[in-house]
Amino acid sequence: MTLDPTTTERRALITGATAGIGAAFARRLAADGWHLVLVARDAGRLAESAAELGSLHGRPVETIPADLSTDDGCAAVEQRLGDGSPVHLLINNAGVSLNKPFLRSSAENEARLLRLNVHAVMRLTLAALRPMTERRDGAVINVSSVAGFGTAMPGSTYSASKAWVTNFSESVGLSTRPLGVRVMALCPGYTRTEFHDRAGINMSKTPEWLWLEADYVVAEALRDLGKGKSVSVPSWKYKVAVAGLRHAPRRLLEAFTRDTRGRIGRDER
């Protein structure tokens, strides 16, 4: 797959496209000449984002108002991925975290997290890959998290959902690479977005040096996709963190987790 939209009309579909990393992807790809299909729950905000990008870059922007934690929302996006003008790049960015440990959560909230962070990613990836592999052209970026590399968030199921996204992306990517289609997990650390405020997570004690900017995360992701990487971890500091989460002795990691109360990884969007 070529990332250069000037060679032909290239189209990207982005979920969670009105804020944070999703909005940063939309801005960057629109500026690079891509045609866009934006997906988000808030129809009004979605229309405003589409109008702004369309006016700025001189091309229409498609929109799909959809709640991807529901079957109807997923079905609407699946239909667009299978019909109409081809989608060459899918960015599964929509996601949620819960500001409660598992023992104080509810089955309803946990099910919603899994529907959005796992089930929707699976459904939309499958819907996108079928036409992509037939054309032997396309790519999928699934936004995961540094948190998915270890149990550094006591009682949280967010990290478990992101572990699935990373493993899923790597596994599926192995099967699609020979067919000319790439699948990559994007695993950022703390990123300045609305994500934490929406989840009611107080991040005031997080050191300033740990934060990444959404535009930087997107630039790193697209660079790594162009290099053919299956996992992208923006910034050297989070590459070091991932190495520690993957290879540190379990007892040391558990001690670190108790001391930090699991603040690492509530990051993206």
Catalytic amino acids? 158
Tell me if 97 sits within 8 A of 144, measured CB to CB. Answer: no
- Residues 215 and 19: their CA atoms lie apart, in Å, by 12
Is the four-CA dihedral 148, 151, 156, 160 of positive or negative sign? positive
The CB density around residue 54, as the number of other CB atoms within 10 Å, is: 15
CA 36 vs CA 30, 87, 169: distances in Å: 7, 9, 22
C-alpha atoms less than 13 angstroms from C-alpha of 50 in its C-beta half-sphere:
21
Tokens of 163: 């572990």
Collect all residues with Cβ–Cβ distance below 8 Å to 118 and sequence separation of at least 6: 161, 164, 165
Tell me if 15 sits within 8 A of 76, measured CB to CB. Answer: no
